[in-house]
């Protein structure tokens, strides 16, 4: 078990969780969900692959795998060259953390402007915990998708529109690492069957991060 304030390492799986400061709603209108995902793609896709997610009112969950150090550093060097920035390249852990910081700052600025608010929107530091067991991977995907039902947003989590669950039920293009996730379960049928089984998630309770 890794403490959730350790630096983010390359080539590592993490459960990422954050919420609005003091529990404040961070998705204030329906359009905010897709807007947040657009910004997430812009800032996080260069440094991490996403395997599952769920956005819920005042908090969110992501299951990610950070990219390799070589990929991240090469991308950073290219960006610095394009902007003619002094090539004082930070270490890879800082690059990954900066990507999250940029996401939160950019989204918060947009929300503040749209809703005439000021100050921080997200709690700091955001929570993260390393996952290294394939069994935990499967349970974490299920847990993340089950969250809307757990919190009473819907009676059946499979009907919730702001999670990655539906991406695994179709063949539509997705930026998620869908084939990797389905392979963890065996195939799409086993993925769906696994999600249909009620679970207490006791085995991964130390990886959940929510209060």
Q: Is residue 32 part of a domain?
A: yes
Q: Is residue 31 part of a domain?
A: yes
Q: Is residue 76 part of a domain?
A: yes
Q: Is residue 106 part of a domain?
A: yes
Q: What does the pLDDT look like over 124-157, one tens digit per residue? A: 999 999 998 888 999 999 999 999 999 999 999 9
Higher pLDDT, 199 or 123: 123
Domain total of the chain: 1
Residue 208's pLDDT is 79
Q: Is residue 5 part of a domain?
A: no
Q: What does the pLDDT look like over 82-131, one tens digit per residue? A: 555 555 667 899 999 999 999 999 999 999 999 999 999 999 999 999 99
Number of H helices and E strands in the chain, helices first, is 6, 4
The answer to whether the CB of 162 falls within 8 A of the CB of 33 is yes
Q: Is residue 49 part of a domain?
A: yes
Entry pTM: 0.90
Residue 87's pLDDT is 59
Domain with 142 in it: 13-207
195-205: average pLDDT: 84
Q: Is residue 4 part of a domain?
A: no
Q: Is residue 8 part of a domain?
A: no
Residue 189, pLDDT > 70, answer yes
In the block, tokens 């999600």 appear at: 195
Question: For the domain that residue 37 is a member of, what is the CATH number?
Answer: 3.30.70.1290
Read out DSSP for 22-82?
Answer: GG--S--SHHHHHHHHHHHHHHHTTTEEEEEEEEETTEEEEEEEEPPHHHHHHHHHHHHHH
């Amino acid at each position: 078990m890794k403490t959730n304030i350790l630096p983010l390492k390359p080539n590592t799986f993490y459960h990422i969780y954050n919420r609005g400061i003091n529990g404040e709603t961070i998705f204030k209108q329906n359009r905010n969900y897709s807007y947040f995902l657009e910004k997430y793609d812009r800032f996080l896709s260069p440094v991490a692959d996403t395997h599952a997610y769920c956005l819920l009112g005042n908090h969110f969950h992501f299951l990610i795998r950070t990219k390799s150090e070589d990929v991240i550093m090469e991308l950073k060097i290219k960006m610095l060259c394009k902007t003619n920035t002094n090539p004082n390249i930070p270490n890879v852990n800082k690059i990954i953390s900066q990507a999250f910081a940029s996401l939160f700052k950019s989204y918060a600025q947009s929300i503040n402007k749209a809703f005439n608010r000021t100050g921080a929107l997200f709690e700091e530091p955001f929570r993260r915990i390393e996952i290294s067991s394939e069994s935990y991977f499967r349970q974490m995907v299920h847990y993340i998708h089950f969250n809307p039902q757990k919190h009473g947003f819907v009676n059946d989590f499979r009907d919730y529109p702001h999670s990655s669950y539906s991406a695994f039920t179709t063949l539509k293009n997705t930026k998620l690492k869908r084939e990797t996730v389905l392979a963890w379960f065996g195939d799409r049928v086993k993925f769906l069957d696994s999600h249909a089984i009620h679970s207490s998630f006791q085995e991964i309770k130390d990886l959940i991060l929510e209060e």
